[in-house]
Structure 1
Amino acid sequence: MPEEMSQGEWALAVEKAAAKIMRGTKVRQLSPVFDAPQYAEQFAALARKTGVCRDLRVRAKCTLTDSEGNPIINKKTKAPRIGWVDYLPEMTPKVA
């Protein structure tokens, strides 16, 4: 049975884990709760005001395109490649 951590040891472990995450470069989805762009933008604004954060961007997972706007096709599967791109308001279709 592993030893229980003291509060100080736990705080140090959390600090080390947070530092490791902040050094990383991998894109992570915040949460399904914040999957709509307006919610993600509200969260990012609040996070910037209240704490230490870096590289907060609203991104969308969609078809990747080349410089001419044509979809990039996966050579193996022949399907369009999907990836993260910076979200722009014009990406959301307007509802009549």
Structure 2
Amino acid sequence: MQLTPAQWHEAVAKYADKLMSGERVKQLSNLFDAPQYAQQFIELAKKHSECRDLRIRARCALVDAKGKPVINPKTKMPKIGWSDYQAGAHAA
């Protein structure tokens, strides 16, 4: 099925509205996997368009309020999830 440019723009707008209304964390792209590239992208996006909830996050072991890893009771391994990136905390 071939879409006309108007139909394509309408489909893209609907998809963008769907994404913007959700609260699920989504990785932008593997191209922006380093914090400095992600920060550059955020600055450009805010400068040139309307943005919502752009922030740098990292997948790492989740910790509780005391700083101890949250353990998955089934696997006995630390739970992995998204957390806000902090410059010194995730250094390799």
> What TM-score results when the alignment is normalised by the length of structure 2?
0.92
| Percent of aligned pairs with the same amino acid | 51
Return 83-92 or 52-61, whichever deviates more.
Answer: 83-92
Tell me which moved more, 71-80 or 6-15. 6-15
Aligned residue pairs, count:
92
User: Structure 1: which 4+ aligned runs deviate by more than 3 Å?
Assistant: none
Gaps of 5+ in 1: none
Structure (1 or 2) with the larger CA radius of gyration? 1
Alignment of 1:69-80 (within 5 A): 69-80=67-78
Amino acid at match of 2:58: A
Residue equivalent to 1:60? 58
| Unmatched segments (≥5 aa) in structure 2 | none
Distance 2:13 2:30 in 1: 25
RMSD: 1.4
Q: What's the CA shift string for 1:15-52, capped at 9, x where partnerless?
A: 11111111111111111111111111111111110111
Aligned to 2:13: 15
Q: Could you state the TM-score of these two structures normalised by the residue count of structure 1?
A: 0.88
